[in-house]
A and B are shown apart, each in its own frame.
Chain A
Amino acid sequence: MSNVTDAAAGTSTPASGEDSAEAAKAGSGPVLAADGRPLKQTLRRTLRREKMRALALIAPLLLFVVITFIVPILSMLFRSVENQIVQNTMPGTVQAIQSWDEQGTEPPGEEVFVRLYFDLFKASEAKRHTQVGNRLNYEQPGLSSMFRGTGRDLDDMGEEFQDVFEEIDPAFEEAAFWYELLSGEGGEALLEERRELLAAMNKEEMDGDVGFVPSAQMADILPWTTMAYTDFAIWTAIEDQDVVSGEEPWEAVYAGLGQDLRNPGTVAAIEDYSGPWSTTLRAAAENRDQLPQQGFREMFVASDEDWDSVDAWRTIALYSPPITAGYFLNSVDMTKTVDGIESRPETQQIYLTLFQRTLIMSLIITGSCILLGYPVAWLLANLPLRTANVLMILVLLPFWTSLLVRTSAWKVLLQQQGVINEILVWLGFVDDANRLVLMNNATGTIIAMTHILLPFMILPLYSVMKTIPPSYLRAAKSLGATNWTAFWRVYFPQSVPGIGAGSILVFILAIGYYITPEIVGGTSGVFISNRIAYHISSSLNWGLAAALGSILLIVVLALYWLYDRIVGIDNVKLGG
């Protein structure tokens, strides 16, 4: 390839391919390369091959970074709006609640509660009802305990029906009865539909042979019963690995039969039914007066009276869509209500204050880094190279020292019994009883982080100041400028790019700091990142952590873009 390029260089440079083509048109046919092909074509091919080679060298790393870094960041962005848990766990309820009037003063009607019962029953079998409770609890405190408490009562609600049925006919106790009654043909569609819903709720595939197909006829006559039994069958066969016909069904199946018998049409259909166990079924239909007369709504309210509260239902309705802005609203101290977006009560506002504090403290840290770093960078840039290199080591040593080491050093220095306080007390400047509080507040964070980030200010400043010729200052002075004017009008403007580069670098690093504020910041000196870590590891509100992280990411990316515009990514230098 290089041969071709060299040969080409003899007649024309690669950049002027157009010119050579024109020259060829005017002259005697196309200019040919050594191998007899037109030069333009050869050049283009060479260029393409060079590009491909460069890309092939870059590709493995690019792929690696995209997979191990960019995709995780994107998954965080997705997490910050994702809200599938409500819909996946309570699909029936979410569907039924669409027709409820959110603006009204009445909680939803019986139909929603029936759906809720069957949704929650299978969720509690999968131990997922507490998760949806926790999710909704982020939006309205108290919902978690409501879901958990009611989850414990679901079996009892079903048993009220079960006891009556078993009194009417002991056959209801038998696993075989239910299997024979409900299995049949034609219910494959129902089976697959329920299987998909269960898989969505359980977040794993529910594939496999269930050993049960609901009968289409029974699905018509006893829709709730068949649905509940189908759920039970799928769960038993696939999750518990048991034989469906040998297991006593869930209490929800009895509740389903009770719910079916409340429908006069079902009773009539049972009269006409003549399949297996028709007598038992008819006996149940005839004795339906003995069944509990309470509606599901009453049962839920009896379990927890908050089920009657409109606010709770509004929260459920508002957070039922699979995508929500709720986490983002939360991270700016707002909340979604039926009337639109409102800010939270004063007492619950923490994130805006935290963002504000993060920004202000990062600015203070950046400012103190400029103040401390500028003179040092000037000195390093103007000393003879040999001396400057020795002094540079003093800047680079903290830069190379572990962050944890420097943070623990500041803990040793700043604490109440720490070195600084001890010295001041010993010298008699500070009374032993009122030692300075330097740690576990904003002061501690600012001092420690200024120290930690100072090298990141000095190094870019130094590399810019290195390029400013000292003769400019001398020229200014010889033209009559005072020291100050010479510095302020001649030197300083030329060092501004360095200040800009260093400031943005320090600010970007400061705004996302976690370790140092966590250790020396106490409660009043922590940043937004500490809150993110808290939500990841303690409160487990991952969506909110992702939303806070996304906001921070956007701020940083904006600064990154600015940095690129001012300094250029290629010009980042490490270690002088």
Chain B
Amino acid sequence: MSNLTVDIPRPPFNTFTLPLMAVFAGCFGFVVGNVFAQPLAGFLAGAVIGAGIAFLAHAMPDSRRNVRLGLIAAFGLIGLVLVGPGALVAGLLIGAVLSWAAYWLDSGRYRSTVPIYYTAGQTLWHNTFLFICGLVFFFLIAPLLPVMWLSFNAENFFTFTPEMLNFQPEGYSLKHYRDFFSGGGHPLQGLIYGTVIGAVFGGLIQLLPNAERGLSRIAVYGIIGALLGIVVGKMWGVSSAEWMTPLKNSLIIAPFATFISVSLGTLAAIGLSQSHVPGRQAIMAILISPMIVPLIISATGMFFFYAPLGNWLEANLGLNQAFVGYVKVILAHAALGVPFVIITVTATLVGFDKSLTRAAANMGADPVTTFFRVQMPLILPGVISGGLFAFITSFDEVVVVLFVGSAQQQTLPWQMFTGLREQISPTILAAATILVTISICLLTTVELLRRRSERLRGMSPG
């Protein structure tokens, strides 16, 4: 099938490409004309330009690349001359879209994604459908872009300044990032200590029997140590900084909560995946419920329960108030993270071949060895992605920490929430950009793990 190629005929120029391009470019012209309060003139000018591009594309089908580059540059130049540097980008974009559309229509490539027998109407619908899907993807991703752009604002505004739109350097600055990271800490020492500890650890691992050997292994441990070291060093000794303290709290609470949900959750998922579990449905329902019950209800319930519990702990066990506060938030977040671990780990265990554990037992391995040497490596991707889900749940959670925690446990989302609700500081946007970067990293990790897991289980070519 893939070796067969169908020659797509070029559509008629005068009755198809030319009028369509004129209308398409006319629409752009209408919008641009509207800026100067001349929509009709804009439409006509656009139509003429569109017709011209159509002619170009039709006349030079083979030098597509050069014609497109030329058109893009020309439109950019028009924008730059007519309005200013801000319109340069708009001009480049319009040029790219128009020239792409002209070639797309003229070469007949708009039919390349549909079967050859499709009628014109069906082809139109198919392409409209793709366009709608494109709009939905735009709707999903586009809102995040202005946030990132605005986080480099030189002013303390939530809105674009003329300097920013004209791409003048004085309109941009890193001051919000500086605000975000201000508050002391020792990232450099952290980096050095982290690298050394990581490398030494990597070296010690080499001494173990069965360890994978090589200098690159030590380097990997060193890099991991360095990354952790920077974070820990940056947080070391930070107190009452506007953004670093909440970040520090988030970084204290989330790992502990994740550890609790992952360790208990993995055991329970293994238990649940056995063939004879009495009351499996009911147990599952209870374990998944923290995900289903709306956060506001969980938070309300926890508020009523944890406040007296905390008082009791402080009064009867003589524990320090801040410590009790952290314990309360960590327990609450661990409960919220449990369903994610259960779901991902049970999903991984579905594809787990039980005869492997039997084979291990047959060869004389005790259950603990079997678990750590046979089962764990195979379900590890599921466990890690469950852990990441639990981590992000805790790291991103506001409502419960707002109700259960005290000001000492203020986390990063909490600080963002109060910031958004009360005082509008663009530092929030810097924080948001950093969080988006982190979530891109986490997403990549989870995707890689998922594919690795599928490859391990031979489920998909991935």
| Cβ A404 vs Cβ B34 within 8 A | no
| Cβ A61 vs Cβ B265 within 8 A | yes
User: A541-560 vs B: 1/0 string, CB under 8 Å?
Assistant: 01001100100110010001
Report Cα–Cα, A42/B271, bound state, in Å: 22
- Name the one of B133, B268, B421, B446 contacting A58, with C-beta atoms under 8 angstroms: B268
Q: Which of A23-31, A65-73, A217-225, A292-300 contacts B (4 or more CB under 8 A)?
A: A65-73
> Considering only CB atoms and an 8 Å cut-off, how many residues of chain A contact the other chain?
99
Chain A neighbourhood of B396, CB < 8 A: 402-404
Q: Which residues of B contact A (CB under 8 A)?
A: 31, 34-37, 39, 122, 125, 129-130, 132-133, 136-137, 139-141, 143-144, 146-147, 150, 158-160, 260, 264-265, 267-268, 270-272, 274-278, 281, 283-290, 292-298, 300-306, 331-332, 334-335, 338, 340, 342-344, 346-347, 358, 361-362, 385, 389, 392, 395-396, 398-399, 402-403, 413, 416-417, 420-421, 428-429, 432, 435-436, 439-440, 442-443, 446-447, 450, 460-461
| Cβ A54 vs Cβ B271 within 8 A | yes
Report Cα–Cα, A64/B278, bound state, in Å: 19
- Name the one of A70, A389, A406 contacting B144, with C-beta atoms under 8 angstroms: A406
| Cβ A426 vs Cβ B35 within 8 A | yes
- Name the one of B35, B296, B450 contacting A428, with C-beta atoms under 8 angstroms: B35
A/B pair count, beta carbons within 8 Å? 296
Report Cα–Cα, A180/B364, bound state, in Å: 84
Residue A385 interfacial (CB < 8 Å): yes
Query: Which of A58, A379, A532, A569 counts the most chain B CB atoms within 10 A?
Result: A58
Chain B neighbourhood of A397, CB < 8 A: 140-141, 144, 439-440, 443
| Cβ A419 vs Cβ B283 within 8 A | no
Given contacts A58-B283, A397-B443, 5 further A-B contacts (CB under 8 A): A60-B267, A419-B146, A519-B420, A564-B281, A575-B447
Residue of A nearest to B39 (CB): A428
Minimum C-beta distance from B344 to chain A (A): 6
| Cβ A62 vs Cβ B268 within 8 A | yes
| Cβ B420 vs Cβ A409 within 8 A | no
* Nearest 8 interchain pairs by C-beta: A512-B294, A57-B271, A72-B305, A72-B301, A61-B268, A76-B301, A529-B296, A58-B271
- Name the one of A61, A411, A419, A532 contacting B264, with C-beta atoms under 8 angstroms: A61
- Name the one of A396, A417, A549 contacting B159, with C-beta atoms under 8 angstroms: A417
Residue of A nearest to B158 (CB): A412
| Cβ B435 vs Cβ A376 within 8 A | no
Report Cα–Cα, A90/B389, bound state, in Å: 51
Minimum C-beta distance from B110 to chain A (A): 17
| Cβ B267 vs Cβ A402 within 8 A | no
Question: Known contacts A385-B460, A397-B439, A546-B300: does B305 contact A71 (CB below 8 Å)?
Answer: yes
| Cβ B297 vs Cβ A55 within 8 A | no
| Cβ B267 vs Cβ A572 within 8 A | no
Chain B neighbourhood of A328, CB < 8 A: none
Report Cα–Cα, A47/B275, bound state, in Å: 10
Report Cα–Cα, A422/B305, bound state, in Å: 47
Residue A468 interfacial (CB < 8 Å): no
Residue A427 interfacial (CB < 8 Å): yes
Q: Which residues of A contact B (CB under 8 A)?
A: 2, 6, 47, 50-51, 53-58, 60-62, 64-66, 68-76, 79, 372-373, 375-376, 379, 385, 389, 391, 393-398, 400-413, 415, 417-419, 422, 426-429, 451, 454-455, 483, 508-509, 511-515, 518-519, 529, 532-533, 536-537, 542, 545-546, 549, 552-553, 556, 560, 563-564, 569-570, 572-576
Minimum C-beta distance from B153 to chain A (A): 11
Question: Known contacts A68-B331, A570-B346: does B292 contact A560 (CB below 8 Å)?
Answer: yes
Query: Which of B137, B268, B413 counts the most chain A CB atoms within 10 A?
Result: B268
| Cβ A404 vs Cβ B277 within 8 A | no
* 18 A-B pairs whose Cβ atoms sit less than 8 Å apart in the complex: A51-B277, A61-B342, A65-B289, A73-B298, A76-B297, A79-B304, A389-B447, A396-B443, A401-B435, A405-B147, A412-B158, A413-B146, A417-B158, A428-B35, A511-B294, A513-B296, A536-B303, A574-B340
Minimum C-beta distance from A522 to chain B (A): 12
Question: Known contacts A72-B305, A408-B147: does B287 contact A418 (CB below 8 Å)?
Answer: no
Report Cα–Cα, A50/B160, bound state, in Å: 64
Question: Known contacts A76-B297, A408-B429, A429-B34: does B267 contact A57 (CB below 8 Å)?
Answer: yes
- Name the one of A394, A515, A574 contacting B141, with C-beta atoms under 8 angstroms: A394
Residue of A nearest to B303 (CB): A536
| Cβ B284 vs Cβ A570 within 8 A | yes
Residue of A nearest to B287 (CB): A65
Minimum C-beta distance from A508 to chain B (A): 6
Chain B neighbourhood of A395, CB < 8 A: 137, 140
| Cβ B278 vs Cβ A375 within 8 A | no
- Name the one of B159, B285, B306 contacting A564, with C-beta atoms under 8 angstroms: B285
